[in-house]
Amino acid sequence: MKSVIFIAPPAAGKGTQSSILMENYGYTHISTGDMLREEISNNTSLGVKANEIMAKGGLVDDEIIIGMVENKLNSVKGKPFILDGFPRTLNQAKALDSLLAKLNIEDIKVIYIDLDLETALKRTLGRVTCTKCGASFNLNNPDCMPKVKGICDNCQGELVVREDDNEESFRNRFETFINNTKPIVDYYKEHNNLAIIEPNNDKMVVATMIKDILNCE
């Protein structure tokens, strides 16, 4: 099974697909946000550095992030993993390539879910989220509707529309994502390591495409 770098615009279902890979095939989910919190709470040298920078209102630089990714990749060695939310810039993508070469990790594929703005918008405007457990449902997709209107299937919590799920803020988020990500997508395309997935409202159809690309069994 190949490890995967997931790149997908908001509302593409990346979280859902990551969960499927974790539950069905034992993938480890690596997100830079989680890593950062972990290093800080464990008081590692990288965590202490990152904490100092953030306390001053600064952004944690690539060197620290790459160091954290290296620690994490060393800890999951041999097992397939999902890199989520990283790389975010072309420089990070190049640094990641060097790191993977250094760690002898070759079995890795970049998957881009090519969701267009209008489809993403339709999904987002139909989305409702549970105030208790965070599960999300979608009123614009028959497969993802809650069984009872306004009530979470999992925990009976209340379902609400997220504040940032309005059209204007979503269009901004989406466009920012596309602009920031395009150089990275082009970079992986040039290096022949990119698989592009067409979106589908049935998450299991997408899951099957991903499974085939990653040789999951």
Catalytic positions, written as ranges:
14, 88, 127, 162, 173
Other CB atoms within 10 Å distance of the CB of residue 177: 17
Q: Is 148 in the site for Zn ion (CB under 5 A)?
A: no
Nearer to Zn ion, 56 or 147 (CB): 147
Contact 126, 146 (CB under 8 A): no
Nearer to Zn ion, 60 or 159 (CB): 159
Distance CA 206, CA 13 (A): 9
Q: Is 155 in the site for Zn ion (CB under 5 A)?
A: yes
| Site size for Zn ion (CB under 5 A) | 8
Other CB atoms within 10 Å distance of the CB of residue 210: 21
DSSP string of 97-134? HHHHHHTT---EEEEEE---HHHHHHHHHTEEEETTT-
Q: Is 126 in the site for Zn ion (CB under 5 A)?
A: no
3 state SS of 71: helix
207 is written with which tokens? 């899951």
3 state SS of 3: strand
Rg of the chain's alpha carbons, rounded to an integer?
18
Q: Is 151 in the site for Zn ion (CB under 5 A)?
A: no
Q: Is 157 in the site for Zn ion (CB under 5 A)?
A: yes
Q: Is 131 in the site for Zn ion (CB under 5 A)?
A: no
Give the range of 11-19, 76-84, 87-95, 144-152 binding Zn ion by CB under 5 A: 144-152
Give the range of 27-35, 91-99, 101-109, 154-162 binding Zn ion by CB under 5 A: 154-162
Give the range of 3-11, 94-102, 150-158, 176-184 binding Zn ion by CB under 5 A: 150-158
Nearer to Zn ion, 17 or 129 (CB): 129
Which of 154, 172, 176, 215: binder of Zn ion (CB under 5 A)? 154
Distance CA 58, CA 53 (A): 5
Q: Is 160 in the site for Zn ion (CB under 5 A)?
A: no
Contacting positions for Zn ion (CB under 5 A) = 130, 132-133, 135, 152, 154-155, 157
